[in-house]
Chain A
Amino acid sequence: MTLQEDTRTHPFQKTLIRNYQAPRWDEPLIFELNAPGHTGVVSNSDGHSAITKSAPENSVQRKTAPNLPEIGQAQVLRHYLRLSQETLGADLNVDIGQGTCTMKYSPKVNEKFAGSSLSADMHPLQDVSTAQGTMEIIHNLQDYLKEISGMDQVSLQAGSGSAAIYGAVKSVQAYHEAQGESTQRDEIITTIFSHPSNAATAKTVGYKVITLYPDENGYPDLEALKSVLSERTAALFITNPEDTGVFNPEITDFVDAVRQVGGVTFYDQANANGLLGIARAREAGFDMCHFNLHKTFSTPHACGGPAAGALCATDELAPYLPGPQVVRTPSRFEWSEQGKYSTPDIRPFYGVVPNLVRAYAWIRALGAEGLRQVAETAVLNSNYLHAELSKIDGLSIPYASGEYRIEQVRYSWQELAEETGISTGEIGARMADYGFHYWTSHHPYIVPEPMTLEPTESYSKQELDEYIATLKLTAEEARQDIDTVKSAPHRSSIHTIDQEATTDPETWATSWRAYRRKYLGEQRSEPSTWVAPANLPIPQRAPKAHHR
């Protein structure tokens, strides 16, 4: 009898353990499926097409079709379904194991809104008079996010969470420049368990980064912060709760201390899922904050984008925000003028509008009470996992032992690793055999043998129970059937990959063009450039400083 069969009938193990098997399709790249003449049809059900109705936009109509593969509709559907099966796609997987990423459900109805021609056919060079509906949505979303954060102004231009943080760093720089202090203030302080984009974007802009490490409570001592504050401090960029799920209860003291030396305080709320409707950046005294709309506000994570980041600021910092905002005038919605000190655009145009539409729809559907319920449910789910997983031998919960966290927890398999030699990465590989994705933590591992779970509000109790039962089983397998765990995964699409390939940019091909160049030996071709038509109005905005 195998261990798996045994545990199925064990008294405490009533929950389903799946006899999962991932398919392996050896699916070609979609460009390789190109069959000239094959096509698919989607009827335009709502009968609108914003761009063709607004005549001035002829100048932005492309003259030739994009170089996309030609494939039949059924073949396209099969292609993406197969890829989804091979990669534990969003609609297949209970993604509790990707903690810190807030892998909640992205409601399908919001795809309908974002995909509607009223939204999808819009063009950023359209005259605003023809885009009032979209402008109203963006305007209202700005207002909702002001309410949620307590801040005074919101910029929705960023195409990702990290781009929003980059915009925040640039705003900090612009702010200090306006005070004549930008040369003197060259240090940004963050913590090791904060969102890594805080340190990364600060460095990208050119700041020196000072990292604070946690004490035994899981968050830095206030004295650690005070020891690095000076007239060189530009800002504090901090996440709370941090990636461990531990909430820093002294956060207002942190903010006060930084403000006392003239630094700006930025609250990374990439993931605000445990705090919606409960605590706001404003009341904690922060000058700025941001949200990843693909985390807290349910827009899809896609594959690294396009996403949307909302950057919020108090009136004091608002003049330095990047990108225009939508303002309401007596007659219509307009884009605001860029101020003297505004951060140059961090992205072309006005942000990733389809994601703004999705986030808007999500907030509208839930309302204020619903948002709070999201946070409460997410915390309840995390506490349930916490309580159940505490019963597993070999799993510990470093820092603030015995206390609950907010919406996620970084656990440690250190004891199991010492006992059996099984690492957290190997447990993750084994979890794939049961159809679960599993992540460890950012590097370097401060918590040894880490596992970070964030159940959000989206998963049912039955799904949480299945995840818990599978983790229990895997820990038991580590003791009783170590070879199976060591050599996992056995039932995934691919057993193991050479991880060096994921860290060597020379091997990456992130586009069909790059693939042809790197792997098929085709010559590098110059990217086609867009030539402005003669009748296009002259751009009024400052030159762009693109994030990427």
Chain B
Amino acid sequence: MIAKLQAETHLRIGLVVNPVAGIGGTVGLKGSDGSDIQKQAVARGASPRAQHQATKMLRHFADIRKNTFEIITVSKEMGEFATNNANIEAEILEELSGFNALSHSTAQHTKEAVQSLDLRGVDLVVFAGGDGTARDVHAALEGNSSRLPVLGIPAGVKMQSGVFARSAEDAAVILNDWSLEPGKTVPAEIADIDEEAHRQGVLTSQLYGYLNVPDTRRRLQGGKVGSSIGTQSLPGLASECAKLIDSEAMCLLGPGSTVQGVSEHFGAETSLLGVDVLHRGEIIGYDLSAYELHQLTVNYRLQLIVSPIGGQGFLFGRGNQQLDSELLTRLGTNDLLIVCTEDKLAQLGGGPLYIDVPDAENIERFTGYQRVITGTKQTASILVKDARH
């Protein structure tokens, strides 16, 4: 460790600022998605918070960073102004210099910027924004094989995703810590809520996928990035599931990094966001639709391993709509295996968990207090509610 501290580690950081992130929050608009909202926000006197947050992070980073680093960023409001304010020289991506950020939504700009930075071979991308920006970053990197790490500087209204540092200053510290041992990353959820519904007072969240974030657990404990999956208890979850799985049954593996991590311990490679089917120890269905799941499993006993998803603890109906009411109706009471690490359960405040499956008349047996597997020889009794009531 000491040798590493003294070594000259050169860090190449890509910086993207979403200049309209968080613009709606200060004026009570519950988010900043949609150009109408952005215009409305400006009319109500909102000022962009992302510039300020990015500048704060850069200043703090320059203060604590002992070794060299390099910033590559986008022109004007998307990064250049923040580096200027922090008195840091930065390379500006010329190919994106035509952006006029404040005139309309920046989703496309963000995606193009992240892709350009990836091509430049940066070590990671730091972005200032909220969940919407995180989704754009995720979209830019989807299908990308480099698994480029990212770190969010919190500047949005909603930050359900697990990619954000607790504060701009924390982002600087995380970055500095991580630079001592670059390469260590963990997946973190990209989640967002439906802003239009949220404005109507309905809270619904959706899991969009995962991005890699710096693994500096020491610093992040209790922080939002720490809400990325804790890998320590996965073997325990896997061993408990293994005891309960009937190899002759069709075992559906729900989406999410917890179930994927559990499956890895079975030696099964599964899709991160899809529903897969395990039978006699082999994955025989990969990322299937509801119809395909029925076709494949129709004459078999059904089992299901699932983990709560998103910021509000949805068990069914968010991110796993493939598990439709018909499949759930076929599922025996004891064949639902809910897995969740203690850390994740703590972030959900110990429940309740929710089910939101339309037209499901036979899911009462999955509501009420349910056993959740939390580790080796360890379960919790957690309240599951029907979100429709």
Contacts and interface: CB of A to CB of B under 8 A. Distances in A.
A220 B369 CA distance: 11
Contacts of B212: none
B380 A213 contact: yes
Contacts of A225: 381
Interface string B338-368: 0000110111011100000000000000001
B380 A211 contact: yes
A444 B166 CA distance: 17
B388 interface: no
A16 interface: no
Contacts of A213: 345, 349-351, 380-382
Given A192-B350, A224-B369, A212 B381 contact: yes
A209 B377 contact: yes
A482 B169 contact: yes
Nearest to A225: B381
A61 B221 CA distance: 51
Contacts of B381: 210-213, 220, 224-225, 227-228
Contacts of A192: 350, 380
A483 B222 CA distance: 20
Question: Could you tell me the dominant secondary structure of chain B's interface residues?
Answer: mixed
B195 to A, nearest CB: 19
Interface residues of B, number: 33
B381 to A, nearest CB: 5
A200 to B, nearest CB: 11
B218 interface: yes
Given A203-B378, A213-B351, A424 B346 contact: no
A446 interface: yes
A492 B371 CA distance: 46
A59 B52 CA distance: 78
B214 to A, nearest CB: 15
A79 interface: no
Contacts of B349: 213, 446
Contact of B346 (A224, A445, A449): A445
B80 to A, nearest CB: 25
Contact of A423 (B154, B166, B347, B382): B166
Contacts of B223: 423
B187 to A, nearest CB: 19
A336 interface: no
A367 interface: no
Contact of B350 (A214, A423, A425): A214
Closest 3 CB pairs of A and B: A421-B167, A213-B350, A444-B346
Given A213-B380, A421-B166, A421-B168, 18 more contacts: A203-B378, A209-B377, A210-B371, A210-B381, A211-B374, A211-B380, A213-B350, A224-B383, A225-B381, A420-B167, A421-B154, A443-B343, A444-B345, A449-B222, A482-B169, A483-B60, A483-B169, A498-B218
9 contacts: A203-B376, A211-B374, A211-B378, A213-B345, A224-B381, A227-B369, A443-B221, A443-B343, A482-B169
